[in-house]
Amino acid sequence: MHITVAGKQVDTGEALKTHVREGLAAVARKYFDHALEANVTFRRDAKGRQGAFFLCDINLKAGRNLFMRGEGEGTDAHRAFEVAVEHLAKQLRRYRRRVNDHARSLAEVRETATTLAATPAPEAEEAEEEQAPLNGQPVEGDAFGPIVAEQPAELARLSVEEAVRRLDGGHTPVVMFRNRASGTLNVVYRRPDGCIGWIDAPAA
């Protein structure tokens, strides 16, 4: 990681620069070993508050399009940096926790979806209740009863997890969507046994 240390009316000697490099390297190793660049700036407290004479700003480029900032103040430059780097570490901990939670959630959804897709669906039972035609306009069917015409609907781009949540929160037994990852047509539906089925149509 490339680290730049600068001071505005503050002497950034070699001892301070070494302290900064070691502190940032330790945080990066612990929470985000792929950090690319850090700019650390020290300055005097212009407000002249008693007990806080130095300010430290850390701007970290933790990855592509990922920037974080930590700020600290103290009676000397070393203490100001320690406060700022602790603020930065808290942000990195929260970010890593969110990434790990998201990865676990995706893994659980993939495992569940794979299991459901591999389970053969039972034969559909013949419908016994007479369905009311949409807008009173049934489409002629065969001896098994009328075919009900549904309103045209635009297919949403969803992940499997989002489609399952939409199925659970809606009043429909089936959700057709375009898989956000693969772009193929997918269907999730409520099976007669109460489980959720997933149909992943192969790409043409």
Q: Give yes or no: residues 140 and 87 share one domain.
A: no
Residues 6+ apart with CB under 8 A from 77: 7, 10, 12, 16, 42, 54, 56
Asked, for residue 173, whether it belongs to a domain, the answer is: yes
Distance CA 85, CA 91 (A): 10
For residue 122, the cross-strand partners are none
Asked, for residue 184, whether it belongs to a domain, the answer is: yes
Asked, for residue 126, whether it belongs to a domain, the answer is: no
The number of folded domains in the chain is 2
| pLDDT tens profile 137-192 | 555 545 555 665 555 667 888 888 888 888 877 667 888 888 888 888 888 888 88
Look up the CATH number of the domain holding residue 164. Answer: 3.30.505.50
- Which domain, by its residues, includes 168? 135-200
Q: Give yes or no: residues 78 and 165 share one domain.
A: no
Asked, for residue 183, whether it belongs to a domain, the answer is: yes
Single residue among 82, 103, 124 that ends a domain in this structure: 103
Range with the largest mean pLDDT of 93-97, 124-128, 157-161: 157-161
pLDDT in the model for residue 82: 92
pTM of the complete model: 0.47
Residue 29 pLDDT level (bands cut at 50, 70, 90): confident
Residues 6+ apart with CB under 8 A from 25: 1
Look up the CATH number of the domain holding residue 7. Answer: 3.30.160.100
Single residue among 88, 103, 118 that ends a domain in this structure: 103
Instruction: Say whether pLDDT at 74 is over 70.
Output: yes
